Amino acid sequence: MAETSAPPAERPASSYGAQPSTHGGPPVRRQIVAFSFYKILPEWKRLPADERAAHKAAFIEVFNRWNTPGEFLSLTYSTVGTRGDTDLCVWSICYSIEELNRMRAELLATPIGGYLEIPHSFLAMTKRSQYQIDREDESEGEGRGAIRPGGHKYLFVYPFWKTRPWYLLSMEERRRLMEEHIRVGLSFPRVKLNTTYSFGIDDQEFVVAFETNFPEDFLDLVQQLRETEISIYTLKDYPIFSCVRLTPEDALNRLG
C-alpha cells in the first residue's frame, strides 16, 4: 500500500530521547523547532489572480492538515516591509525531524513552491536551561523542555553564537554572568523569550525568538543587554528577523 502524505494519527515521543526531569517528574519530550524564511519570486506576482488564489489554497491545505494539537504546530508570519530578503516565515514545532522534513517537502510541492526561495532556515531543539531562571511564564514553566508560541503579535528571531572562551569559563562564572543577563530580561515582562539549541544540528549554536505586542520593549531590552558584562562573549547574533503574526491566508495575501 502506498504511503500517504498525511501525518500519522499517533506519533511516538521524539526518537532523540527525552530528558529526565530535574524535579522528579516524568521525562520531558524535547521539541524540534524550525524557522523557515521564504522569498516569493516576482514572476509569481504576475500570474493571473485566480491562479495565485489556487496556489495559496493548496499551500494552506497542506499547512492546516499538518497542524495537530500537541504534536505538530506551525505558525505564519509576514516579513514584508521588515526584511528585504524574505517575505514569509513559517515557525514549526514538532517532535521529529523526519516529520518536519515531510511537512516542508509537501509545502514546497504545492504550485507556489516553485516560486519560493529559502534564503534563511534555522533548525533547533528545546533543552532545559543550565541556569536558574525565576520566571513563571510558558517559555520557562517546563524548563524549556517545551514552548508554547503564538500569543503575541510580533516575533523577533535571530541565530546566536557564543565565543569559544565562554565555554572555557567555569560554570560558577557563567552563572554569575548570566544572573545580570537574566535580571535585565525579567525587567521586560511584556517580552516572552523562547530559547532553543542548535549544537551539531545547524550552523548556529542557539536560536532565540522573542514574542511581544510591544516592539519598543524589545528594542529597549536588546539595547540594555548590549551593556551587560556577558555581551563580550557574543560572537554573532544576526541576521535579525522582525515578523508580524498573521493567519496563513493573510500572510500569503500580503505576497500578492
pLDDT of the residue at 147? 87
Give the 3-state secondary structure of residue 151.
coil
| Secondary structure, 3-state, 29-49 | ECCEEEEEEEEECHHHHCCCH
The beta-strand segments (E) located in 48-173 are 73-78, 88-94, 116-125, 154-162
pLDDT of the residue at 26? 60
Q: Which of 115, 149, 142, 113 is nearest to 23 (CA)?
A: 142
Q: How many residues can be counted in the chain? A: 256
Average pLDDT, consecutive stretches of 10 residues, N- to C-terminus, the chain (256 residues): 37 38 62 98 98 98 96 97 98 97 98 98 92 51 67 97 98 95 96 96 98 98 97 98 98 97
Burial 97-135 (b: 16+ CB within 10 A, else e): bebbebbbebbbebbbbebbeeebebbbbbbbeeeebee
pLDDT of the residue at 103? 98
- Residue given cell 528585504 in the structure block: 84
What is the third-level CATH fold of 28-253? Alpha-Beta Plaits (3.30.70)
pLDDT of the residue at 7? 38
Residue 213's contacts (CB-CB under 8 Å, 6 or more residues apart) are 152, 153, 154, 190
Burial 15-51 (b: 16+ CB within 10 A, else e): eeeebeeeeeeeebbbbbbbbbbbbbeeebeebeeee
Determine the Cα–Cα distance for residues 177 and 186; give it in Å rounded to an integer: 15
Which residues are bridge partners to 39 per DSSP? 117
pLDDT in tens, 111-120: 999 999 999 9
Q: Are 254 and 86 in contact (CB under 8 A)?
A: no
Determine the Cα–Cα distance for residues 198 and 172; give it in Å rounded to an integer: 23
Residue 208's contacts (CB-CB under 8 Å, 6 or more residues apart) are 157, 158, 160, 193, 194, 195, 196
pLDDT of the residue at 1? 32
pLDDT of the residue at 146? 82
